[in-house]
A and B are shown apart, each in its own frame.
Chain A
């Protein structure tokens, strides 16, 4: 086991030990908390459904590869390899989708190639911005999320260039 593999067991034991120490009914508390999950996901489900629908259509219709093609002449002169455009388009939208693309990149070019290393860092440096935007503000009065969304996407784009440049140096 690596050090990071110890985080979960140590954390859970610690939380339960502190709970017992403070004379909390740990079992009842756990059950109460776990019960809230069903309602939370129930509230989120329509948003998850809507986002997944759009992502599914985006990928299957060929629009994602079309977008990648359109972006290629912009990205390549800036030092981003052509092979990575699809990953860049998908990574803001779909976690599982971009992970599949990443696996494919590793298979075709090798995980230790320049492209493979670039792809690894691009993939791990930001989250799926659009999905988070859809879920976080789902059950609130907030409807105008343009500004934070723009910042998130800007940073996600910036990290692509950073990753590609850094991989050349390191």
Chain B
């Protein structure tokens, strides 16, 4: 994120200079204002969802629900923390219902819970899985795009539904598979061990040379 952000920033500013465009400060302030407005909007949207999430928590609905899909969640995320499981269940449900706005606060809460057991700067397997699932968007109905299509006079706005479902399914499957193959905790550990063994070996060798 660090490299991407700095890279975007510096390259854009260089572009401004090359184009002889003096509006960069104005653009930055404008984007800043957009960020403030967007945050205010988010506050309203999250307040609504977090209100209902709290009702579900206190009534025990959330616990009940996450208990029911516990085997699925534990297998998918390789997670054993109860608190995180509730948020993961909530996130999955929100995603499946197409409620992106409810998915984000639950994902953030889940990552925070998972982070408590994480002692490294690297994301855990569960975090990787959660991120990729949300980034690839398991979604059943592309409401925004369909609304926009009908607004621009499409004869059949929902005609994209079949290819959409196919692309989405493949996306999610490949995503889960890639995380499983590349981020699995056992694999990471073994490669770490190999790395440690290698570095230790070279250190020992170099010291024996001396």
Contacts and interface: CB of A to CB of B under 8 A. Distances in A.
B115 to A, nearest CB: 4
Nearest to B160: A120
A125 B134 contact: no
A93 to B, nearest CB: 8
In this complex, the member of B11, B27, B55, B105 whose beta carbon has the largest number of chain A beta carbons within 10 angstroms is B55
Q: Chain A interface secondary structure, helix, strand, loop or mixed?
A: helix
B137 interface: yes
Contacts of A26: 55, 59
A60 B155 contact: no
Interface in B21-47: 21, 23-24, 27-28, 30-32, 34-36, 38-39, 42-43, 46-47
Contact of A166 (B24, B156, B163, B175): B163
Given A41-B39, A148-B179, A155-B132, A136 B111 contact: yes
Given A99-B144, A132-B135, A112 B155 contact: yes
Contact of A49 (B32, B128, B148): B32
A147 B21 CA distance: 36
Given A4-B141, A135-B108, A155-B178, A106 B152 contact: yes
Contacts of B154: 106, 111-112, 116
A41 B42 contact: yes
B51 interface: yes
A140 B32 contact: no
A147 B157 CA distance: 36
Contacts of A8: 99
B163 A41 contact: no
A63 B136 contact: no
In this complex, the member of A26, A57, A162 whose beta carbon has the largest number of chain B beta carbons within 10 angstroms is A57
Interface of A: 4, 7-8, 11-12, 15-16, 18-19, 21-22, 24-26, 29-38, 40-41, 44-45, 48-58, 60-63, 66, 99, 102-103, 106-107, 110-112, 116-117, 120-121, 123-127, 129-130, 132-145, 147-149, 151-152, 154-156, 158-159, 162-163, 166-167, 170
